[in-house]
Amino acid sequence: MRRGPFQRLVAGAVFFLLAGAGAQAGAADLVVIVSARSQVNALRPDQVAAIFLGQTARFPDGDEAVPLDLPLGSPLRNEFYERVANKSPALLKAHWSKMVFTGHGQPPGEARDSAAVRRRVAENPELIGYIERSALDASVRAVLVVR
């Protein structure tokens, strides 16, 4: 049976919707965290993106915000930037190349894994990081759940 253009369009749309749903189902819930001692209780994705992309160095309340990344190439790091800042690893590299070249900023510091991010963020209310939701504990506060 031959399909017309409309049927092919509908079939393609259904395929992409199902493929996207499958990709999301396999993705881990990420949380953006601050120290439990921080005054920040919640952030929007655009606010988090602005901090991690060097567009602001302050939390909305005016306190200093220092982002902490996972290592370059980490799947969780790639997922974070894709979902929060809509940046692929290549786009993120281009962004930071431009920022550094023009003297407008330096990329965030790095910690080796989620446990190290959680530990360093817990110790310093100026730090902000992201970890798997399953790695949360009482030493840090989730300010954004990224699904």
- Residue-wise pLDDT for 41-73, tens only, equals 999 999 999 999 999 999 999 999 999 999 999
Amino acid identity, position 12? G
Q: Which numeric CATH code is attached to 28-146? A: 3.40.190.10
Amino acid identity, position 93? K
Q: Tokens 């396999």 identify what position?
A: 26
pLDDT at 83 exceeding the cut of 70: yes
- Residue-wise pLDDT for 105-139, tens only, equals 999 999 999 999 999 999 999 999 999 999 999 99
For the chain, state the CA radius of gyration.
18
Assign 147 a pLDDT band (cuts: 50, 70, 90).
confident
Amino acid identity, position 28? A
The answer for residues whose C-beta is within 8 angstroms of residue 52's C-beta and 6 or more apart is 67, 69, 81, 84, 85, 108, 128
Give me the residue spans of the domains in the chain.
28-146
* Structural contact between residues 147 and 25, judged by C-beta atoms closer than 8 angstroms: no
Q: Taking all residues of the chain, what is their mean pLDDT, rounded to a whole number?
A: 86
Q: What b/e string do you get for 112-125 counting C-beta neighbours within 10 Å, with b at 16 or more?
A: eebebbbebbbeeb
